[in-house]
């Protein structure tokens, strides 16, 4: 069966002769246009930071929140199309809520990641929809150990010690590779997150930032928005 080049571009489920799904690649380009977010595992927790666009002085900055807590032990952030990110975060929150209602406890980070990954992959395989134009980062605690994952628009999952999603991903990850150390303190992790996002400040348009940390203490988890 013959497909024109336009068919490869327009059809989500049609591979090009060299094995590419163009709509997934376009979704990845949408992610690159988004303000970056960064995640870092530290000795006893997770640090996340994000740049964001505040389009006007009239906008309440706190109303634009890129980092969210899905559960006591799980943080979520993303980069890409804002509406897609909102939809994915809503689904992730429902997954966590349903798990708690069924089993009486919070889900593991890995469980939520697998569910969202399956959702992303399904949107590359069936007609009548398009891939999500967003990459998400989910981090937190699995059995008291800090973990961090990225899910890209294809549904591919990668585990990290530290990473970034969105614009200037390569530049930020290069900085993280040079400066990340295992078992960093909370203070060191926050400092590294801020410095990593500063790698984009001269070239990018975001004009605000937010930072969140989640750490394990004897009394339980401590979550704080900065």
Q: What pLDDT is recorded for position 203?
A: 47
Specify if 90 maps to a domain.
yes
Specify if 62 maps to a domain.
yes
Q: Average the pLDDT over 119-141 and give the result.
A: 91
Q: Average the pLDDT over 189-218 and give the result.
A: 85
Residue 140: give its domain's CATH number.
3.60.20.10
Specify if 9 maps to a domain.
no
Question: For residue 92, which of 41, 24, 138, 40 has the smallest C-alpha distance?
Answer: 138
Specify if 2 maps to a domain.
no
Q: How much is the pTM? A: 0.90
Q: Average the pLDDT over 76-81 and give the result.
A: 96
Specify if 199 maps to a domain.
yes
Q: What pLDDT is recorded for position 126?
A: 78
Domain count, the chain: 1
Q: What pLDDT is recorded for position 9?
A: 60
**What is the tens place of the pLDDT at every residue in 133-190?**
999 999 999 989 999 999 999 999 999 999 999 999 999 999 999 999 999 999 999 9
Specify if 15 maps to a domain.
no
Specify if 209 maps to a domain.
yes
Confidence of residue 10 (pLDDT cuts 50, 70, 90): low
Which domain covers residue 146, as residue numbers? 22-225
Mean pLDDT (the chain) is: 90
Specify if 17 maps to a domain.
no
């Amino acid at each position: 069966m013959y497909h024109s080049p336009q068919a490869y571009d327009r059809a989500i489920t049609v591979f090009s002769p060299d094995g590419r799904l163009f709509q997934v690649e376009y979704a990845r380009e949408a992610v690159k246009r988004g303000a970056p977010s960064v995640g870092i595992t530290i000795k006893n927790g997770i640090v996340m930071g994000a740049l964001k666009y505040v389009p006007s002085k009239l906008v309440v900055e706190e109303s634009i929140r890129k980092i969210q807590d899905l559960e006591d032990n799980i943080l979520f952030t993303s980069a890409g199309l804002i509406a897609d990110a909102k939809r994915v975060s809503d689904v992730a929150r429902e997954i966590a809520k349903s798990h708690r209602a069924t089993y009486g406890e919070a889900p593991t980070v890995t469980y939520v990641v697998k569910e969202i990954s399956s959702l992303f992959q399904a949107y590359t395989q069936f007609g009548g929809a398009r891939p999500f134009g967003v990459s998400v980062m989910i981090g937190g605690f699995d059995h008291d150990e800090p973990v961090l994952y990225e899910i890209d628009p294809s549904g591919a999952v990668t585990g990290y010690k530290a990473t970034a999603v969105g614009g200037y991903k390569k530049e930020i990850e290069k900085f993280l590779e040079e400066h990340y150390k295992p078992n960093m303190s909370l203070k060191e992790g926050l400092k590294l997150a801020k410095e990593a996002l500063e790698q984009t400040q001269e070239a990018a348009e975001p004009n605000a930032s937010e930072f969140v940390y989640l750490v394990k203490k004897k009394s339980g988890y401590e979550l704080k928005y900065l």
